[in-house]
Amino acid sequence: MRELFDSATAGLSNMNNADSSRLTSQMLAELRPLWRIAWPLLIAQTAQIGTGVVDTLMAGNYSDADLAAIAVGFNIWLPLYLIILGTLFACSAIVAQDFGAGRIERVRRFLPQGLWVAVALSAVMTPLCLSSDMAIALLGLPEETAAKTSAYVSRVGLGFPALGIFMALRYHTQGLGITAPFAFASVVGFIANVPLNYMLIFGAWGAPELGAEGCGLATAASMWISTLIILLYVLTARSLQPYLPTRWLERPDWGRISEILVVGFPVGLTFFLETGVFSVITLLIATLGDAAVAAHQIAINVWDVFYIPMISVGSAMATRMGHAIGARNAHGVRMALWVGAALSTLIGLLAMSLLLLFPDAIIGAYTQSEDIRELALRLLRLAALFIMIDVVQIVGSFVLRAYKETRFPFIVVTLSYWGLALPLGYLLAIHWGNSSPEGTVDFWYTTILGIAVAAALITWRVRRILRSLD
């Protein structure tokens, strides 16, 4: 982290000997617009995750088979969701730089191209969900669970066209620095999902009783509700009209579409691989016993709580940096990085403090089992270290994304997680470790090693880029 901070502050130390009060005012001036972008993203992402939590809770109260179906089905459609999310993130980086440079006509004409990409991605992902039977059959699930899983995934897939449109609109306006309406739309979608789940899972209010299938329909419906709300906002908000196209049905501009794919697809693959490696690790840990997987899940859940705000701050920082990059404002680039890194570090320090000072309280909220408690205690200490290193990796990755350099983080994640952490964890925990619950600790050690390697490589790349500002 020190190296990243050094790079960020290199220019600040040469500000004609400005006094501390001036520097503080500059930081506060940058903090306000960055936080104005970040907090709606935090709410939106929390609402989206909350939808999955509600689905799981309500299905669990219906039947064990439906709960299992949703748990498996969620891990099938989530990677497809992340590819759409990551690919369309490129729209934010591209629009932010054009907006910062004052290229408003390019901003106006860009949205249709983002929508073309969204439609294309949806045209691939939706059929994959609708025809998921063969993939699900390979999992060896009980017949009833497999049928329910297939029904759930196929119904969720009906919401993917709405999801693509939502993300294209979200990232276009995020590039302008506008995020609050999308938080509102996400919250409304989350709220609507609750009664829709109740109605379609349990057959309330005259609706058919569909179980997991009904849960999938409710989730898809909530996606469409959020998208319709944001479409209404985009079409009516006066402040957005100067940045919207005069014709929404423009022909595909293959140059701009290829720019989105070149910048965004590596981000989507990175999100996919990051999620995938933790899914594989969880499956391997499950072979070590119930106590092992329970302790691991506690640590992962706690990490997720702090991951969301760090990602939100990182995304906001990338937007602010994009504006400064487009305007060729080196000082603005450094200030956005400095404030974004500082906020992320504060979140990391808060997480580390809570995990190290109050581990028993955290674990007690999940379980009273002594076997799980002892193992979870060790994992929470390791999670505290993981989070602090992850701060560096997240900040650095979003810096590179602000510069539209996305292939390097993809390569780094692939090598550090899939090439190093996963195989080394398997060797230590399972191949050489006799498959005991203690192997869970080995997996966390190797994962920390992987994230440390990723953070170091990404920091090195960020430092090289920032030197060009001098």
Question: Is the separation of the CB atoms in 352 and 384 below 8 Å?
Answer: yes
Predicted pLDDT of residue 436: 74
Average pLDDT over residues 245-259: 84
Average pLDDT over residues 118-142: 87
Average pLDDT over residues 321-345: 92
Q: Is the pLDDT of residue 8 over 60?
A: no
Q: Is the pLDDT of residue 214 over 50?
A: yes
**DSSP state letters, 259-328:** HHHHHHHHHHHHHHHHHHHHHHHHHHHHTT-HHHHHHHHHHHHHHHHHHHHHHHHHHHHHHHHHHHHHTT
Predicted pLDDT of residue 403: 92
Average pLDDT over residues 293-321: 87
What are the backbone angles phi and psi of residue 62, rounded to the nearest 5°?
A: -100, -55
Question: Is residue 365 classed as helix, strand or coil in its secondary structure?
Answer: coil
Pick from 205, 273, 263: which is nearest to 412 by CA? 273
Q: With bands split at pLDDT 50, 70 and 90, how would you rate the model's confidence at 5? A: very low
- Tokens 């009833």 label which residue? 144
- Give the integer Cα–Cα distance in Å for 447 and 416: 9
In this predicted model, which residue has the larger pLDDT, 367 or 15?
367
224: Cα separation from own chain's centroid: 20
What are the backbone angles phi and psi of residue 237, rounded to the nearest 5°?
A: -70, 120
- Give the integer Cα–Cα distance in Å for 290 and 301: 16
- Give the integer Cα–Cα distance in Å for 333 and 335: 6
Question: Is residue 56 classed as helix, strand or coil in its secondary structure?
Answer: helix
Cβ partners under 8 Å of residue 22, min gap 6: 15
Task: Quote the percentage of the chain above a pLDDT of 90.
Answer: 47
Pick from 323, 454, 457: which is nearest to 390 by CA? 454
Cβ partners under 8 Å of residue 289, min gap 6: 437
- Tokens 């701050």 label which residue? 313
Pick from 30, 35, 37, 321: which is nearest to 179 by CA? 37
**DSSP state letters, 39-68:** HHHHHHHHHHHHHHHHHHHHHHTT-HHHHH
Predicted pLDDT of residue 382: 93
Predicted pLDDT of residue 19: 52
Average pLDDT over residues 131-151: 83
Predicted pLDDT of residue 439: 85
Predicted pLDDT of residue 20: 65
Average pLDDT over residues 316-342: 92
Q: What is the DSSP letter of 429?
A: I
29: Cα separation from own chain's centroid: 27
- Per-residue CA distances from 31 to 21, 153, 268, 343 (Å): 15, 41, 28, 9
Average pLDDT over residues 283-304: 82
Pick from 298, 270, 272: which is nearest to 285 by CA? 298
Predicted pLDDT of residue 12: 46
Q: Is the pTM of this model over 0.95?
A: no
Q: Is the pLDDT of residue 1 over 60?
A: no
289: Cα separation from own chain's centroid: 29
pLDDT single digits (tens) 354-370: 999 998 888 887 777 78
Pick from 318, 410, 349: which is nearest to 1 by CA? 349
Predicted pLDDT of residue 470: 61
Q: Is the pLDDT of residue 253 over 80?
A: yes
pLDDT single digits (tens) 414-470: 999 999 999 999 998 887 867 677 888 999 999 999 999 999 999 999 998 888 776
- Per-residue CA distances from 324 to 30, 175, 327, 411 (Å): 11, 12, 5, 26
Pick from 346, 287, 270, 290: which is nearest to 313 by CA? 346
Question: Is the separation of the CB atoms in 114 and 168 below 8 Å?
Answer: yes
In this predicted model, which residue has the larger pLDDT, 150 or 76?
150
- Give the integer Cα–Cα distance in Å for 85 and 48: 12
Summary mean pLDDT of the chain: 87
Predicted pLDDT of residue 24: 72
Lowest mean pLDDT among 203-207, 255-259, 335-339: 203-207
- Give the integer Cα–Cα distance in Å for 178 and 39: 11
pLDDT single digits (tens) 162-193: 999 999 999 999 999 998 998 899 999 999 99
Torsion of CA 237, 244, 230, 120, to 10 degrees: 170
What are the backbone angles phi and psi of residue 380, rounded to the nearest 5°?
A: -65, -35
Predicted pLDDT of residue 23: 66
Pick from 306, 287, 295: which is nearest to 434 by CA? 287
Pick from 144, 155, 157: which is nearest to 64 by CA? 144
At 162, which amino acid appears?
A
Average pLDDT over residues 148-156: 91
Lowest mean pLDDT among 120-124, 163-167, 200-204, 370-374: 370-374
Rg (CA), the chain: 23
Cβ partners under 8 Å of residue 405, min gap 6: 461, 465
